[in-house]
Amino acid sequence: MGYLDNSSITVDAVLTKKGREILKNGGNLNITSFTLSDNQVDYRLWNPDHPSGSAFYGEAIENLPMLEASVHAEYNLRNRLVSLNQNTVAIPAIVLGGLDTKGGSVLTFDEGDENKGKINVDLVGYTSTMSITGDPYYVVVQDPSIIRVNANLISELSGTSRMFLQEQDIPHAQQYGFGGDGFTIKPIQQDVAGKVTNVYVVHVETGAHASFTVTNNITKNQRSILSTNIIR
């Protein structure tokens, strides 16, 4: 990946891995809509004190280098541009429920907590007027060896060109799609307590997102001890 020449207007278009897969299988893309985003834009560079006047307030932003288009769709369009009513005073946001504390960002699984893990997802500040194909939300689990997600597995995510093996302790993040009011997380037994992973929830249409951390304290050793005590 390289930088685009920002001395002229350039349109750099590539097929994503999903697009290539569709064509490989003999399908048609049938593109009916598109999405814009402002990834790579640092609005902190807006300078209302520029000595040359208002026409140059955004000069530093306009001169930012832009990366070439990536075939990894999941790493792009994270900050989508959406049209909102003129009287809107806040951008859409995701509110999560079912965590350890209301308004918190941590979910902890201790022994006996196997039945918890229902994550409620509420999008506030936006009402969709579009017909979206597929799931309206997706969730990314950084380390799928720590928890399972009851949702539609979309893909494994990798920032490298090769897929490492689980035995190398380099698990791949997984992306799931879901609809409705949320999804469910289940812990996976671990060798040691305290394993942690990050979870990201994103609304496809607006790009609104939220994240939380999951700590898994459920271990095989604890279960073995409990079973031994019961037998005695």
Tens digit of pLDDT for each residue in 136-147?
A: 899 999 999 999
Check residue 118 and give its pLDDT.
Answer: 95
Domain range summary for the chain, segments of one domain joined by +? 1-81, 93-221
The mean pLDDT of 173-189, rounded to a whole number, is 92
Is pLDDT above 70 for 222? no
Instruction: Report residue 176's pLDDT band, with 50, 70 and 90 as the boundaries.
Output: very high
pLDDT at 85: 81
For residues 107 and 94, give the distance between their C-alpha atoms in angstroms, rounded to a whole number: 17
Lowest-pLDDT choice from 27-36, 82-91, 165-174: 165-174
pLDDT at 33 over 80: no
- Calpha distance 206→42 (Å, rounded): 19
User: For the residues 17-45, what does the mean pLDDT come to?
Assistant: 84
94 or 81, higher pLDDT: 94
Residue, of 219 and 166, whose pLDDT is higher: 219
Of the candidates 134, 178, 140, the residue with the CA atom closest to the CA atom of residue 156: 140
Considering the chain, what is the average pLDDT of its residues? Answer: 81
Of 86-90, 155-159, 196-200, the one with minimum mean pLDDT is 155-159
pLDDT of residue 137: 92
Q: How confident is the model at residue 34 (pLDDT cuts 50, 70, 90)?
A: confident
Residue-wise pLDDT tens digits, 38-72: 877 888 999 999 999 999 999 998 888 877 777 76
Which is more confidently placed, 9 or 161? 9
Longest dimension (CA), the chain: 84
Instruction: Give per-residue pLDDT as tens, 99-137.
Output: 999 989 999 999 888 778 999 999 998 887 666 667 889
Name the residue with higher pLDDT: 193 or 128. 193
* CATH number, domain 93-221: 2.60.40
Q: Which of 172, 174, 191 is closest to 139 using CA atoms? A: 174
